[in-house]
Structure 1
């Protein structure tokens, strides 16, 4: 579920507590936790609602006017779902990327990277390129490796899951954990 930055900011501030979507069936369930730019956002409820039943308070809870919310929902087809949302803490990858690698963790990361490289090796080249070119746009980095942008970005997210990289406003950089791994330290 994609959430615009203004919505995320409202969730973080406690002003926005829900979103509305037109989906044939719910795409999230209560308990779903999404990693976002503001940290974790948790889905606390999902319920089907009728557009005609929406009131100004519903729209305000979604950070909109009733007129704007109805106009937005008029563009789609299918049932309307109210998704209850709450800020649920910091993204655990933030803490992970700052943690130093123990020798056991280093071995574990190396084994995971080896599994990722099983079919086509890419992890070492990607880490080295991000280290050499922090803040460079993903399409430019992908082109340097002769790769398509979307698969490249998907692979960088895998490195991010291990706490090795972090996203910048533009591009990426190695995290302290990634630097430690790349330089062979523990």
Structure 2
């Protein structure tokens, strides 16, 4: 179930608790917890609904401008059944905390055994160490470029990286990836610590702003939300690649930290 970034922000803020979709059959069930860019979103209800039964309160709770807009949006998607889906913010993604937890020797051995099992089951041969080493050597590099270095297609390689992310070993950035402290500990186990550039200070730029905006901000030396907070909104809009949507998402991310644009 796809949810737009603005809707996710509203769900986290408690301003939206409904979504409406037209499906041939429900694609989520009650209790489903979806990992999103803002954390976990839980499905609290799923029920079919007719357009004539919709009310203005439904539109308000879904963050839609009006009842007419809600009905027209659903009517524009012919086929299937309209469903009212209840949603609630269920807290931060547990992987966020997991990747900061440096494992002890026993847990490292369990993780390395898990990596061995992934390698043994892979139809294209061992890949886990090569992928961890590649991300470690080339943080914040686009996935297609990294996959090409390993001679692999991008979609299946990204699927493999998600397996590493589930264990808190990697972190997805606005562009590319980097190893987490947990991943660095696993990769370094049994040898001397690798020489790495210092980890960037501050809160990373949100992935939702998109790659063009991320590149523009980096080129201007703005690599964290704290740095962005020192600039005015008009100044950011003047950067090529930073459009209104990116500015809005930056504003939401700054608000979560109790920050805002200068002025």
Q: Same fold (TM over 0.5)?
A: yes
Shift of 1:24: 1.3
Alignment pair present for 1:123 and 2:123: no
CA–CA distance in structure 2, aligned partners of residues 143 and 72 of structure 1: 40
**Greater shift in the superposed pair: 100-109 or 80-89:** 100-109
In structure 1, what is the equivalent of residue 40 of structure 2?
40
Alignment TM-score, normalising by the size of structure 2 = 0.68
Shift of 1:69: 2.1
Where do residues 124-139 of structure 1 align in structure 2 (5 Å cutoff)? 124-139=129-144
Shift of 1:2: 1.3
CA–CA distance in structure 1, aligned partners of residues 70 and 131 of structure 2: 42
In the alignment of these two chains, the number of paired residues is 186
Shift of 1:67: 2.9
Shift of 1:71: 2.7
In structure 1, what is the equivalent of residue 253 of structure 2?
none
Which runs of 5 or more residues in structure 2 are unaligned? 191-263
Where do residues 1-186 of structure 1 align in structure 2 (5 Å cutoff)? 1-65=1-65, 66-76=67-77, 77-118=79-120, 119=122, 120-184=125-189
CA–CA distance in structure 1, aligned partners of residues 69 and 56 of structure 2: 10
CA–CA distance in structure 2, aligned partners of residues 89 and 32 of structure 1: 14
The one-character-per-residue Cα deviations of 1:164-183 (angstroms, maximum 9, x if unpaired) are 00110111110010011111
**Greater shift in the superposed pair: 58-67 or 87-96:** 58-67
**Structure with max Cα Rg:** 2
Shift of 1:72: 2.2
CA–CA distance in structure 2, aligned partners of residues 52 and 168 of structure 1: 43
- For CA contacts below 8 A with separation 6 or more, give which structure has more relative contact order: 1
Tell me how large the CA RMSD over aligned residues is.
1.4
Which runs of 5 or more residues in structure 1 are unaligned? none
Secondary structure of the 2:24 match is: coil
Q: Which protein is richer in strand relative to its size?
A: 1
CA–CA distance in structure 1, aligned partners of residues 20 and 61 of structure 2: 10
Alignment TM-score, normalising by the size of structure 1 = 0.96
